[in-house]
Amino acid sequence: MSTDENTERKVLPCPCCGSEVTCSAGFQNGYGTYYFVKCSCGLSINGQFEADVLQRWNRRESAG
């Protein structure tokens, strides 16, 4: 059985500056782990689900 986690977890470069970014497991709060994508230029997205964070980040590229 092969895993395609790399493609599922693909993160597009920053839509503002083009830098490579990664999605990281962030801080714990009362509900669980938060995930975030943060760029050195200051643009960031975070949320409770990694897939949701990635999806929203990736959509930013075409949003603007």
> Which residues contact Zn ion by CB under 5 A?
14, 16-17, 19, 39, 41, 43
Rounded distance between C-alpha atoms, residue 61 and residue 14, angstroms: 8
Of residues 19 and 55, the one with the C-beta less far from Zn ion: 19
Give the C-alpha separation, 47 to 6, whole Å: 20
Q: Which is nearer to Zn ion, 38 or 47 (CB)?
A: 38
Q: How far is the CB of 51 from Zn ion (least distance, A)?
A: 21
Minimum distance between the CB of residue 12 and Zn ion, rounded to whole angstroms? 11
